[in-house]
Amino acid sequence: MTDQTTTPEELEALLARAAEAAPGWAAHSPADRADTLTAVADALDERADELLPLAKEESRLPDGRLAGELKRTTFQLRLFAELLRDGAYLDARVDHADADWPMGARPDIRRVLVPLGPVLNFAAGNFPFAFSVAGGDSAAALAAGCPVLVKVHPGHPRLSARTGAVVAEALRAAGAPDGVLGLIHGVDQGVTALRDPRVKAASFTGSIPGGRALFDIACSRPEPIPFYGELGSVNPTFVTRAADAARAEEITEGFVGSFTLGAGQFCTKPGVLAVPEGSAVLERLRSTTLPGPAPMLTSRFAESYARRLGELSGHDAVGPLTVGEDAYADSPAPALLTASIEDVLANGDELLAECFGPAALVVTYAEESQLVALAGALDGQLTATIVGEDDDAVAPELVRLLADRAGRVLWNQWPTGVSVTYAQQHGGPYPATTAPTTTSVGTAAISRFLRPVAYQGFPEHLLPDALKEANPESLPRLVDGKPAV
């Protein structure tokens, strides 16, 4: 607990204001909400000189990383604004009455997506801008027309408070209702809010135990709600023999750069690398000079990492590949461990669990058919990568299996760095996430905070604008099964 801990009275006020703001914010046209999101992005950019030093002080992240992350955050807000102005996200559908419909007379039915209501966003610790107060989950929910209550991460409370103030000021100036954004401090306060019937959906980025506990609460409420949790992933990478023979130096450099990026504190860090026994990549990894020590986000992160690294390195099936003396320091040096694929398949629960920090397990195989076995043994993942050649015989089956296990499958690229795009998928089967049909990055994330409503037989003046025959906002729609405006 800190001095900023939200009191019960403050929490009740936040919940009440969010519930009161929900109808008004939902009633704002997509174009109005787009203008508001753009105003928020502009305000954050204008306050960069104030926000970036706070972020550096609380997160220990370097200047360049933080500046890029703030840029990503404001870019995402503007991208959602473009989505709102286009209007296709509403998935508006109009079926006119048809007496000759083959299944019997069809009534006039019109369907559109509407906001869920207040959303509770549990902010992440490893991205103080991009997955925090104004980051992905908040941006998507605000774009959808939902008020947002952010459960502040204890790793950057002062930055969160200041970011929240900047965003709230911009929202008010743009005409958004009071209560569209609120901040909650404190673990117990976050759980209390999750249980409150005024909260209609929740999002989370963090550990498997923490996320699963919150997911269970969300599902066991008298009125269960959607819970979009991003939990854990080892993001395996499979290197074929042909790729190893052709590009060992390039693969080694790419892997080292990816697993050590940001001191290994990316949810997409490649934590498992499968290479042939005696491979050129393996030998290069033995002799390569890894980057020096780098600070973890907080001492708590460093302690958790050291504990998990100790469990992994202490396993009978695991040996050191490149482990420095300061691998367990508060600012740890990167560590590479190794194990045979047979041992990994026999001890998957222990060896294929996430180690959040600058460490990775290099798995050696004798036959490429064993890569298929490893892919089949995986739990759900955010990403899975194949480093191969176009004519690799193992590739088609490997792609099929990995697409079944991961939300994003990569070919000869590294998974760290999740671009904010229209087609991005940042999610995957459990335990990578609790909602494998959705994404937390990219414009498709807006769909998590919307639900469909069909209006049957209504007169024109009682229909939402998106479903009116006149289509006053010129939205793209599906009319009698055909695209139209």
Catalytic residue numbers, as ranges:
230, 267
Question: How many other CB atoms are there within 10 angstroms of residue 173's CB atom?
Answer: 12
How far is 128 from 135, CA to CA, in rounded Å? 8
By the 8 A CB rule, do 291 and 260 touch? yes
C-alpha to C-alpha distance for 207 and 124, rounded to whole angstroms: 10
**C-alpha to C-alpha distance for 198 and 19, rounded to whole angstroms:** 6
Cβ neighbours of 275 (radius 10 Å): 30
Return the closest-CA partner of residue 337 out of 413, 286, 371, 279. 286
Distance CA 66, CA 377 (A): 37
